[in-house]
Structure 1
Amino acid sequence: MKTVMTRRKMLAGSLSMAGLTLAGCTTRQVPLPEPVLPLADPAFQLAYGPRPSEPFPVPAVDPAELKPAFRRQRISYLTGEAPGTVIVDTRNFYLYLVEPSGTAMRYGVGLGRQGFEWSGRARIAWKRPWPTWTPPDEMIAREPHLEKYSARNGGMAPGLDNPLGARALYIFQGKVDTLYRLHGTAETASIGRAVSSGCVRLVNQDVIDLFDRVRPGAEIVVS
């Protein structure tokens, strides 16, 4: 009889423990798996990723700030201008570098705000990586605090905070400096907008690409 009772107790105890175990399984909070984030667009990363090897390392462009329409791409483009010509379409905020065989490399740009627009035909006289910025006297007259960056004071040293960014291409008509530039910017959100003091700005990754493709003396048409 004792044996029977012992077995019964043991069985009851086992069932009781099993019940506790099952109850524990039904109430324990199981952590949900972390959501799998989509991989960044490899083409965007290649074109607009960081440039750590630059003298002043250039950070990656935020894809949320650069609309797909203004991202660098090669397109079909028929024009009477010679290959190597730079064409700035001020209505649509595009810059085209004409290539042979009916194509062009297209870049999104920011342009001069109302009252500071420029148009015409000129040439890219020279180009500089990580240029010094010297605001023209007219700009200093409007914004006197920029006097510290005047040519008399040596200009603003190169760097990520320099308004000309990673590269600058200088626009001349004949031998006269127009004071307008094609240059880089860290202000990605300004691409596709009229916000500058007349210059044509590209994100730093794009102006680096353009700089490597354009030869000094190339014609530029802004219309």
Structure 2
Amino acid sequence: MSGHSKWANIKRKKEATDAQRGKIFTKIGRELAIAVRHGGDNPEANSTLRDAIAKAKANNMPNDTIERIIKKAAGALDSVNYEELVYEGYGPGGVAIIVEATSDNRNRTSSDIRHLFDKSGGSLGETGCVMWMFDRKGVLVVDRDAVDIDEDDMLMIALEAGAEDLITQDDAYEIRTAPEDFASVRDTLEKQGIPFISAQLELIPKVTVSPDVEAARKVLNLIDKLDDHDDVQNVYHNMEIPPELEELEE
């Protein structure tokens, strides 16, 4: 998820990864397979695959598992039938939500996503209805406890690597890049021994909204249900999480 309390969201996703690692690996496996289908099995020549591999490693997927998925996808390109889908809509309180999914059955997935929105008091919209509220950025999250680097030094390291910005949270550094610079920045920082909790292209809200606590609670419930759907890869929103709920999230 993307939103106001990024690190709280990252921790929340990390906990889910620990509890449901098999499901997370399945979703990342789809991304790897789709990347191979679009650009081949050589990450040096396929930036999409290179990004998917980075995401897999950030989620602690074993290297042999990554290699096995890539080889399987490369040997069965015709049988990789997953389609990439994007849904846009609003949750309770006017919160903009974007859902990225992969599916082998568009009608089933669309019906499921629409049902989840409707049941939560939200609504799906037309393509482009909320996408304009977001920018796509490369996002690399570094656990501050895992590196002995202060904020000023990390900023200089990130900028010298080609990053656009550094956002410092209590427990993490969030490094943002232009989409086209993401791979080179990631590679440069990796060579310097900097580990990532998360490394992927994300949608970052340009503006945020602040619903009341009850609406925010409904939005978080909707996001949880979307995240839990087998076909959903990523969920983005532009909600400022109320302090009362942010404390619970952490």
Same fold flag (TM > 0.5)? no
> TM-score of the superposition, structure 2-length normalised?
0.20
Higher relative contact order (CA 8 A, sep 6+): 2
Q: Which has the larger radius of gyration?
A: 1
The structure where strand makes up a greater share of residues is 1
